[in-house]
Amino acid sequence: MENQKVLHRTNKLNSQSQIPAIFLDKDGTLIENVPNNVDPQLIEMKIGAIEGLQILSKAGYKLIVITNQSGVARDYFPESALIGVEARLNEILEKADLSLDGFYYCPHHPNGVISEYAIACECRKPKPGLILRAASEQNIDLANSWFIGDNLTDVEAGHSAGCKTILIVKGNQSQPQMSRLGIADYILVNLSIAAQVICKHSVSNF
């Protein structure tokens, strides 16, 4: 009986100290999609990204990038090139008083040409491996976290990890048709709108 009480109290403490996060796809969501780019100078934030991150950061969410970088396995660029990408992203965000809480990437691809990266891993989206790793390293409350991405593999990864999801679509895509798929919790046009929807959603749920 006494043990059960202690256990219960511990669980409560753990859940209280967990922090919700916004998991962000990089290419086509946070920054303009330039396929396989690792040139820091070509990194350009998407419309609404800075505003969206400011809203979410103020609301208390951790901001964590989750990105597939199979260009490493395919030998398009070395893994070390991603250090420059992360640094440039942080440099841009710092100017807006923002910072990332994590930058997690999957360098693998089953058809890669570099053998150490040519594996069917657990971290390439749509697998939730990177999200789960971030969650355990940073004590994240997955049920109150969101995954925002521009690809259905982002949505699938987010849902597999137990998060809510937002699919970012280009203005010219047929939204009603995508909505009928019923896969993402919301289908929206940019990160700024996504942030507003998340904040409204949180208020109505607490």
What residue ranges bind Zn ion (CB under 5 A)? 106, 108, 121, 123-124
CB 106 → Zn ion: shortest distance, Å?
3
Closest CB to Zn ion among 19 and 118?
118
The SS3 assignment for 57 reads helix
CB 204 → Mg ion: shortest distance, Å?
28
Closest CB to Zn ion among 48 and 112?
112
- Facing residues of 186 across strands? 166
Residue choice 20, 23, 25, 46 for contact with Mg ion (CB under 5 A): 25
Separation between Cα atoms, residue 46 and residue 28, nearest integer Å: 7
In the list Mg ion, Zn ion, none, the entry touching 123 (Cβ below 5 to 8 angstroms by class) is: Zn ion
Separation between Cα atoms, residue 2 and residue 6, nearest integer Å: 6
Closest CB to Zn ion among 141 and 156?
156
Closest CB to Mg ion among 93 and 144?
93
The DSSP call for residue 188 is E
Q: Give me the DSSP letters along 96-160.
A: TT---SEEEEE---TT-SSGGG-S--SSSTTS-HHHHHHHHHHTB-GGG-EEEESSHHHHHHHHH
In the list Mg ion, Zn ion, none, the entry touching 132 (Cβ below 5 to 8 angstroms by class) is: none
22 in the Ramachandran plot: left (φ > 0), alpha (ψ -120 to 50) or beta?
beta
Please state at what angle helix 191-205 crosses helix 49-58, rounded to 10 degrees: 20
Residues with catalytic roles: 25, 27
In the list Zn ion, Mg ion, none, the entry touching 121 (Cβ below 5 to 8 angstroms by class) is: Zn ion
Separation between Cα atoms, residue 159 and residue 147, nearest integer Å: 8
Q: Can residue 150 be called a binding residue for Mg ion (CB under 5 A)?
A: yes
In the list Zn ion, Mg ion, none, the entry touching 28 (Cβ below 5 to 8 angstroms by class) is: Mg ion
Stretch 27-46: interaction string toward Mg ion, x if CB under 5 A: xx------------------
In the list Zn ion, Mg ion, none, the entry touching 127 (Cβ below 5 to 8 angstroms by class) is: none
Q: Confirm if 53 and 196 have CB atoms less than 8 A apart.
A: no
Using the rule CB under 5 A, give the single segment among 14-22, 133-141, 145-153, 163-171 that binds Mg ion.
145-153
The contact set with Mg ion (CB under 5 A) reads: 25, 27-28, 150-151
